[in-house]
């Protein structure tokens, strides 16, 4: 997953192997991978939080994960570039949404760059405006899907 993350995100935004290991130790139930013939070609992950927001502190402080929280966050969605444009990102996101709904969450929250706003809107997310996030030094948009 960390190798795929490094391919799909700029270095300042990509989660490291150590970060993945820390997160997985606390909220493994919030990690899903897509395999094709035994090879991981995509993943989605995030923690559960009390509010419909994704503050930057969540990326680095696993103590903020609340397994009984109301909102599933998405930290990252990555699909190997050689496997993109096949619906895998949509399938991973829909699965995350379905699991979140089945687990009684009130919704899913994420941040994304401008070019991905239409993609997430096509999956039912509403654009909440420019995010206060400065994760990785980038500009982000807040996206929210409520059930």
Long-range contacts of 10-16 (CB under 8 A, 24+ apart): 10/136, 10/138, 12/136, 12/137, 12/138, 13/135, 13/136, 13/138, 15/59, 15/75, 15/76
pLDDT, one tens digit per residue, over 18-77 is: 999 999 999 999 999 999 999 999 999 999 999 999 999 999 999 999 999 999 999 999
Question: What is the rounded average pLDDT of the residues 80-92?
Answer: 97
Question: What is the rounded average pLDDT of the residues 112-135?
Answer: 97
Contact 45, 75 (CB under 8 A): yes
Question: What is the rounded average pLDDT of the residues 80-100?
Answer: 97
Q: How far apart are CA 136 and CA 147, in angstroms?
A: 30
Coil, strand or helix at 44:
strand
Beta strands 76-79 and 71-74 are unpaired
Entry pTM = 0.94
| pLDDT reported for residue 76 | 96
| pLDDT reported for residue 85 | 95
**141: pLDDT confidence band, cut at 50, 70 and 90?**
very high
Residue partners of 132: CB distance under 8 A and separation at least 6: 55
Q: For residue 86, how far is the Cα from the chain centroid?
A: 19
Give the H/E segment covering residue 142: strand 141-146
Q: How far apart are CA 146 and CA 18, in angstroms?
A: 31
| pLDDT reported for residue 57 | 96
Q: Which fold has domain 2-106?
A: Aminopeptidase (3.40.630)
Q: How far apart are CA 68 and CA 48, in angstroms?
A: 8
Question: What is the rounded average pLDDT of the residues 121-134?
Answer: 97
Question: What is the rounded average pLDDT of the residues 119-124?
Answer: 98
% of the chain residues with pLDDT over 90: 100
| pLDDT reported for residue 62 | 97
| pLDDT reported for residue 32 | 98
Question: What is the rounded average pLDDT of the residues 139-147?
Answer: 97
């Amino acid at each position: 997953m960390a190798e795929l993350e490094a391919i799909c995100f700029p270095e300042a935004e990509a989660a490291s192997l150590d970060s993945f290991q820390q997160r997985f130790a606390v909220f493994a139930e919030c990690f899903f991978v897509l395999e094709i013939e035994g090879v991981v070609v995509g993943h989605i992950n995030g923690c559960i939080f009390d509010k419909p927001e994704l503050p930057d502190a969540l990326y680095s402080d696993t103590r903020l994960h609340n397994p009984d929280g109301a909102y599933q966050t998405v930290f990252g969605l990555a699909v190997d570039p050689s496997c993109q444009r096949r619906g895998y990102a949509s399938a991973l996101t829909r699965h995350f949404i379905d699991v979140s709904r089945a687990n009684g969450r009130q919704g899913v929250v994420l941040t994304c760059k401008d070019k991905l706003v239409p993609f997430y809107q096509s999956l039912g997310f509403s654009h909440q405006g420019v995010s206060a996030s400065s994760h990785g030094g980038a500009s982000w948009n807040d996206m929210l899907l409520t059930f």
